[in-house]
Amino acid sequence: MEELITQIEPFLQATIRMAVPLILTGIGILYTERCGILNIGVEGSMLVGTFAAVAGSMATGNIYIAVLCAMLAGGILSLAFAYLTINRRADQLVAGFGINLFAGGLTLTLMPYLNANRTRAVLFPVIDTGFLKNIPLLGSILFDQSIAVWLAIILTPISAWVLYKTTWGLNLRAVGENSKAVATAGLSVIRLRYTGVLVGGLFAGLGGAALALNDLGFFVPNMTQSRGFIVLAALVVGRWNPYYFALVCLLFGAADALQLRAQSFGSVLPYQFYLMLPYLLTIAALAGLVGKTKAPKEYSKPYDPTHF
């Protein structure tokens, strides 16, 4: 029994760590999609957040400033997306792909300046929970984790409360269901959609910071590796519910942790097969839910205030 616990503990601990960037990013993108916006540019916001987090950490040695830099970077990029899709009513898919391409090019251009600084990035500190981390199995999984893990645990129920129990959350969800009714009630659809997109960008930056500074402490090209798209898929599978979404992210985190352990232990299968596991799981989950999920009625539809 002790041997089994010894083997399963690192896997479960890694599962949570791998899921945290997805959960933190998705908490914000949930608001974006609930207000009727499909932002596939989340991949780009997450990527620039990762870069900004490492740069801020190396420059200041302060994890909180690094996180702020990451959130600001993700937020600024999301505002560019909001302007294109809300004000200019550009196609949301095209604008999102453009944001992703811009983020990839920007980080590659600035990367030599980042590598010129040999200082190691400061990581998220691990919270000292005292005797709690000595609890068999549960202790190492939950109580021997960094601040980023606890942020994901705490912010998930908070986001659910804001979305379902506050007037602002009701207004935001109403925009995604019937924007014209919201406008008729005297509320600003454009302002609510801007807020939803901005919240998504800020949290995408936070998710990027968790990806870079939870374990690694450095930046590499295309570091997010399509995790933004996995977040979008997890929201669909989780039916745009914060709790269901978090559980789906844990499932994707388990697939990611499994491929890392499979590579380290060796296998007759090529390592590329294990690298595909999270993405194969994403495709399988989406394929099984075709026609079974109910998106917001105005999901990905532009709002035109001149047509009622």
Lowest mean pLDDT among 145-154, 155-164, 178-187, 280-289: 280-289
Backbone angles phi, psi at 126, to 5 degrees: -85, 130
Average pLDDT over residues 17-36: 95
> CATH code for 2-288?
1.10.3470
Lowest mean pLDDT among 30-34, 202-206, 246-250: 246-250
pLDDT band at residue 288 under the 50/70/90 scheme: low
Average pLDDT over residues 175-194: 93
Confidence check: pLDDT of 187 > 70: yes
pLDDT band at residue 229 under the 50/70/90 scheme: very high
Mean pLDDT is highest, among 82-86, 256-260, 268-272, 278-282, for 82-86
Of residues 145 and 152, more confidently modeled:
152
Average pLDDT over residues 119-129: 83
Q: What is the pLDDT of residue 300?
A: 86
What predicted TM-score, i.e. pTM, was given to this entire model? 0.92
Lowest mean pLDDT among 155-159, 160-164, 268-272, 279-283: 268-272
Distance, in Å, from the CA atom of 307 to the CA atom of 178, rounded to the nearest integer, reads 13
3-state secondary structure the chain: CHHHHHHHHHHHHHHHHHHHHHHHHHHHHHHHHHCCCCCCCHHHHHHHHHHHHHHHHHHHCCHHHHHHHHHHHHHHHHHHHHHHHHHCCCCHHHHHHHHHHHHHHHHHHHHHHHHCCCCCCCCCCECCCHHHHHCCCHHHHHCCCEHHHHHHHHHHHHHHHHHHHCHHHHHHHHHHHCHHHHHHCCCCHHHHHHHHHHHHHHHHHHHHHHHHHCCCCCCCCCCCCCHHHHHHHHHHHCCCCHHHHHHHHHHHHHHHHHHHHHHHHCCCCCHHHHHCHHHHHHHHHHHHCCCCCCCCCCCCCCCCCCCC
Average pLDDT over residues 156-177: 95
Is 230 exposed, middle or buried (CB count within 10 Å of its CB: 0-12, 13-18, 19+)? buried
Check: CB of residue 156 under 8 Å from CB of residue 207: no
For 268-277, write each residue's pLDDT tens digit: 666 667 677 7
For 246-266, write each residue's pLDDT tens digit: 998 998 888 888 777 766 666
Q: What is the pLDDT of residue 12?
A: 86
Q: What is the pLDDT of residue 30?
A: 96
Single-letter residue type at 115: N
Q: What is the pLDDT of residue 249?
A: 92
What the block records as the tokens of 91 is: 């196609």
Average pLDDT over the chain reads: 87
Of 160, 153, 158, whose CA–CA distance to 249 is shortest?
153
Q: What is the pLDDT of residue 260?
A: 72
Check: CB of residue 122 under 8 Å from CB of residue 57: yes
Confidence check: pLDDT of 237 > 60: yes
% of the chain beyond a pLDDT of 70? 87
Q: What is the pLDDT of residue 96?
A: 96
Q: What is the pLDDT of residue 70?
A: 97
For 38-80, write each residue's pLDDT tens digit: 999 999 999 999 999 999 999 898 999 999 999 999 999 999 9
